[in-house]
Amino acid sequence: MAEITHRTIKTNGIDMHIAEAGSGPLVLMLHGFPESWYSWRHQLPALADAGYHAVAPDVRGYGGTDKPNEIEAYSMKQMTADAVGVLDALGEATAVVVGHDWGAPMAWHSALLYPDRFRAVVGMSVPYTPRAPAPPTTIFKRMFANNFFYILYFQKPGVAEAELEADPRRSLRLFLYSASGDAQQEGTSWLKPKDATFLQGMKDPEQLPSWLTETDLDYFTSQFAQSGFRGPLNRYRNMDRDWEDLPQLAGAKITQPALFIAGERDGVIAMNPSGIETMKQHVPNLRNVVLLPGAGHWTQQERPAEVNAALIDFVKGL
């Protein structure tokens, strides 16, 4: 199995920590919230053994990468500029970009904004969503009315940080478990009143699921205990700014070869059941949709073998 190595590169004016393995065509993997490069620990060696240079950064605000304080430093324009800057730092003209959770919108938008640099795109958990007719938080307020919605809860600086940073290990354990396929099998409900907190109602498992070891949880905890949650939460605080910044994306289609992978029990899919069909209309070269039975939100961690097989089959077919 290929060895994973680590280094720091310069991209878009920041220092970025990357984990990498193998040599060959570049596959850039962007993680989501609340994760790190480590969420790709199973994919890095698999892609390397298949003949690719697999690279997984800590995205801006996480782990060993710089964490600017300003909210606007986490706009989609900045996140995609970071991604293309990785290619520049590595001396690569093009790459396949892969993203999970927040990394998926980053990957979709990287493909849209830099079509000459990203030759194919893979989204996990979050389907490509075309530009909305109004600012996202306006829509969310109308949709959720008197019910809790985590993205709205995350908008006010300091509130979610205080809750999550009070005990990072407990916060991560509750969230990683509650959004997994294991918890969804038990019928976990995300419906709660508007004045609830993020962790309220999440189940604390007596035992971690098989895909998440105590060592894994130790690593994630060490990263957030050191970095805090402000940078990661600032990504959510840019959704309206992104809408204002990128009006040219109205009606835009992603034309590169694409793949979508998600768990059948992923709450993102359940919340937006028409999302995959909508994506198909705006991603005309979508080659496959892989829905993993029994899997929840943490796609590549919960089902590494199936995800690796789908990824390698896709990139080899380009």
Greater model confidence, 190 or 75: 75
pLDDT digits 0-9 by tens, 85-119 = 999 999 999 999 999 999 999 999 999 999 999 99
Mean pLDDT, the chain, rounded, equals 96
pLDDT digits 0-9 by tens, 32-56 = 999 999 999 999 999 999 999 999 9
Q: What is the pLDDT confidence band of residue 187, given thresholds at 50, 70 and 90?
A: low
Does the pTM surpass 0.75? The reply is yes
Q: Are strands 95-100 and 53-57 parallel, antiparallel or unpaired?
A: unpaired
- Residue 73: its pLDDT value, please? 98
Number of structural domains (the chain) is 1
The CA-CA-CA angle for residues 310, 314, 317, to 5°, reads: 140
Token pair listed for 226? 């050191």
Phi first, then psi, for residue 241 (nearest 5°) are -60, -45
In CATH, what number is assigned to the domain containing residue 148? Answer: 3.40.50.1820
Q: What is the pLDDT confidence band of residue 271, given thresholds at 50, 70 and 90?
A: confident
Task: For residue 192, count CB atoms less than 10 angstroms from its CB and return exposed for 0-12, middle for 13-18, buried for 19 or more.
Answer: middle
Phi first, then psi, for residue 222 (nearest 5°) are -60, -35
Q: What is the pLDDT confidence band of residue 191, given thresholds at 50, 70 and 90?
A: confident
Place of tokens 């829905």: 291
- Residue 4: its pLDDT value, please? 98
Domain residues for the domain of 209 are 5-316
Q: Which residues are catalytic?
A: 101, 297
Mean pLDDT of 283-304: 98
- Residue 1: its pLDDT value, please? 87
Beta carbons of 279 and 309 less than 8 angstroms apart: no
Q: How far apart are CA 53 and CA 20, in angstroms?
A: 7
- Residue 186: its pLDDT value, please? 59
Q: What is the pLDDT confidence band of residue 22, given thresholds at 50, 70 and 90?
A: very high
Q: How far apart are CA 266 and CA 255, in angstroms?
A: 26
Q: How far apart are CA 130 and CA 118, in angstroms?
A: 19
Mean pLDDT of 12-36: 98
Mean pLDDT of 265-279: 93
